[in-house]
């Protein structure tokens, strides 16, 4: 009797976890000014996306700091260029820049940070990119951010697990 109750409780918890739909993505960047992914993919069924970003390098943020910034692809270069002027104290992001959909702070080697955003901020049919807004980095530290409509969440996560 006790065991049957335990199994049914477990099933309920599992369903609740699945319906929370927070999709997690792990991304890292190195002293070589590279992200470990060129494409990140989420399922359109994700309610929220949590990006966990790690700088695997050894240099401090002032020397080789990186961040993870998401914009529409057409906004990438203008946002990166504007961010240079915003300076280190602002994580090389113009405060309140409405073109920035999501962004982490700038972090140095050995540090981690994260950002969470709603998939409702993304429109089907638009093209999105992620990049690092540290001065001069965006030309090579960038990649596509794709919304996989109709793909299973498992497929999307598998795509993010491999380069
Ligand atoms: Co960078």
CATH number for the domain spanning 137: value is 2.60.40.420
Distance (angstroms) between ligand 1 centre and the Cα of 32 equals 9
Those residues whose beta carbon sits under 5 angstroms from the ion ligand 1 are 66, 132, 134, 137, 141
Specify if 51 maps to a domain: yes
Specify if 135 maps to a domain: yes
Distance between the two ends of the chain, CA-based, in angstroms? Answer: 47
Specify if 1 maps to a domain: no
Please report the pLDDT score of residue 43 as a whole number: 83
Distance (angstroms) between ligand 1 centre and the Cα of 90 equals 15
Distance (angstroms) between ligand 1 centre and the Cα of 20 equals 32
Distance (angstroms) between ligand 1 centre and the Cα of 159 equals 22
Please report the pLDDT score of residue 2 as a whole number: 54
Distance (angstroms) between ligand 1 centre and the Cα of 14 equals 38
Total count of domains within the chain: 1
Specify if 12 maps to a domain: no
**Residue 149, both tokens:** 């409509």
Please report the pLDDT score of residue 14 as a whole number: 41
Distance (angstroms) between ligand 1 centre and the Cα of 108 equals 10
**Residue 152, both tokens:** 């299973």
pTM: 0.83
Q: What is the pLDDT along the chain (163 residues), one digit of tens a residue?
A: 455 555 545 444 443 334 446 789 999 999 999 999 999 988 888 889 999 999 999 999 999 999 999 999 999 999 999 999 999 999 999 999 999 999 999 999 999 999 999 988 898 789 999 999 999 999 999 999 998 876 555 556 666 764 4
User: Residue with structure tokens 């049957």?
Assistant: 4
**Residue 98, both tokens:** 């409405």
At a CB cut-off of 8 Å and minimum separation 6, what does 102 contact?
49, 51, 69, 70, 115, 116, 117, 121
Please report the pLDDT score of residue 20 as a whole number: 43
Specify if 151 maps to a domain: yes
Specify if 14 maps to a domain: no
Distance (angstroms) between ligand 1 centre and the Cα of 152 equals 31
Specify if 88 maps to a domain: yes
Distance (angstroms) between ligand 1 centre and the Cα of 119 equals 24
Distance (angstroms) between ligand 1 centre and the Cα of 123 equals 26
């Amino acid at each position: 009797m006790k065991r049957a109750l335990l199994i049914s409780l477990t099933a309920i918890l599992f369903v609740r976890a699945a319906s929370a739909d927070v999709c997690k993505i792990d991304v890292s960047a190195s002293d070589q000014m590279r992200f470990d992914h060129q494409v990140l993919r989420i399922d359109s069924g994700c309610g929220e996306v949590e990006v966990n970003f790690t700088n695997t390098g050894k240099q401090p943020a002032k020397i080789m700091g990186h961040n993870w910034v998401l914009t529409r692809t057409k906004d990438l270069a203008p946002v990166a260029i504007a961010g240079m002027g915003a300076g280190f104290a602002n994580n090389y992001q113009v405060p309140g820049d409405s073109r920035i959909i999501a962004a982490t702070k700038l972090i140095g080697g050995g540090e981690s940070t994260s950002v969470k955003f709603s998939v409702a901020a993304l429109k089907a049919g638009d093209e999105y990119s992620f990049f690092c807004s540290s001065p001069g980095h965006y030309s090579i530290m960038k990649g596509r951010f794709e919304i996989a409509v109709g793909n299973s969440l498992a497929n999307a996560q598998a795509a993010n697990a491999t380069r």
